[in-house]
Amino acid sequence: MATVTDAGVELDGVSVDFGDVSALNDVSITVEHGEFFTLVGPSGCGKTTTLRAIAGFETPTEGTVAIDGEDVTGRPPEDRNVGVVFQNYALFPHMNVRENVAYGLRFRDAPGGVSRQARVEELLELVDMNGLGERDPTELSGGQQQRIALARALAPGPEVLLLDEPLSALDVRLRERLRVTLREIQQSLDITTVYVTHDQEEALAISDRVAVVADGKLEQVGTPEAIYRSPASRFVAEFVGDNNVFEATVDDSDPPRVSIDEQTVPLAAASTVAPGERVTLSVRPEDLSFDERDVAITATVEQVEFLGDAYRVHCAWGETPILVKTAHDEIPRGTTTLWFDVPDVHVVGRSVTE
């Protein structure tokens, strides 16, 4: 029997199968009270299934789901005290804005002993939509519709807010504005939140912690900074942000080193690699420089893109494509030397050679 803690949300060994398809495989997650926790990963990796298992729309084949310290694995969605917003959670077209928000209170009384009417007004104020209560959903922009969907989900005062790609149908600028609003509302209510997105930039921007999901399993869980700066696997290194990934062989010196362009480079994670092991390394584009650093490689500049605040320089290092991000305003052409510092080299994968 699993031990249930009093975390905001706890998944313990959750698997979900759909016939032969294993959508989730032994996933354990603990989301703290008031935490903004994001599941990010490519299409089909199991993000929505995880959220649906927390909401109660999916029953785990194995494992348990607990909310606020209570095992809710067998309970229907309406008995879980969660609010859910989906990507296209269409508002009811035959109800005006106020009626749509009030619909969120169909299973419960308004929290705090206030009337339903007062609660609806409170929520419209919270999402900055007061004065628009009489409008029909068709008279609202996409962003306003999602604010109302959020108000409807929050109306009963749920313990947990579950958001499945709530911004992805909106254009980029609106999405960036609304994610700030969403974070402000989440923090003002101090509500435990699980957010699903395929957009790694959004995940890093909005979250206290991020879980990178691949193929029904958790690849890495950590703060946005930890996920970005110390990717735990090749998948995370390549999925989160731009990155340069290449292979090298560990020598038998102590501490171990790898050979990169005929220089021997010590490894930060030296203690966990073995002599002769083939390792996958990563270096972020912004950690590469045209100015002298610890390690030099000879590369050819192939394309330069101007981004406004920086340049993205596409290079080739032998057969390996290398991306450099730099604010340097004199970009060399043709064959050049690229530099990086030893601490910026991360071991993101390993495979023992025969």
- Give the residues lining the site for ligand ATP (CB under 6 A): 18, 21, 23, 41, 43-49, 198
| Long-range contacts of residues 72-80, Cβ cutoff 8 Å, at least 24 apart | 78/107, 80/55, 80/56, 80/160
Q: Which is nearer to ligand ATP, 59 or 223 (CB)?
A: 59
Shortest Cβ distance from residue 174 to ligand ATP (Å)?
Answer: 20
**Of residues 124, 102, 126, the one with CA closest to residue 115:** 102
Neighbours of 6 (CB within 10 A): 11
Amino acid identity, position 180: V
Q: Which is nearer to ligand ATP, 90 or 327 (CB)?
A: 90
Q: What is the 3-state secondary structure (H, E, C) of 7-34?
A: CCEEEEEEEEEECCEEEEEEEEEEECCC
Q: Which is nearer to ligand ATP, 108 or 198 (CB)?
A: 198
Distance between CA 186 and CA 145 in Å, rounded?
A: 18
Q: What is the DSSP string of 178-212?
A: HHHHHHHHHHHHT-EEEEEES-HHHHHHH-SEEEE
| CB 211, CB 47: distance < 8 Å | no
HSE-CB for 116 with a 13 A CA cutoff: 13
Shortest Cβ distance from residue 49 to ligand ATP (Å)?
Answer: 3
Shortest Cβ distance from residue 21 to ligand ATP (Å)?
Answer: 5
Q: Which is nearer to ligand ATP, 23 or 170 (CB)?
A: 23
Q: Which is nearer to ligand ATP, 48 or 220 (CB)?
A: 48
Cis amide linkage into residue 256, ω under 30° from 0: no
Shortest Cβ distance from residue 160 to ligand ATP (Å)?
Answer: 18
Shortest Cβ distance from residue 118 to ligand ATP (Å)?
Answer: 37
Shortest Cβ distance from residue 146 to ligand ATP (Å)?
Answer: 17
| CB 38, CB 211: distance < 8 Å | yes
Neighbours of 104 (CB within 10 A): 25
Shortest Cβ distance from residue 45 to ligand ATP (Å)?
Answer: 4
Q: Which is nearer to ligand ATP, 87 or 300 (CB)?
A: 87
Q: Which is nearer to ligand ATP, 110 or 196 (CB)?
A: 196
Query: Residues 238, 23, 26, 198: is their CA dihedral positive or negative?
Result: positive
Q: Which is nearer to ligand ATP, 36 or 86 (CB)?
A: 86
Distance between CA 18 and CA 16 in Å, rounded?
A: 7
Burial of 332 (C-beta count, 10 Å sphere; 0-12/13-18/19+): middle
Shortest Cβ distance from residue 47 to ligand ATP (Å)?
Answer: 4
Q: Which is nearer to ligand ATP, 87 or 230 (CB)?
A: 87
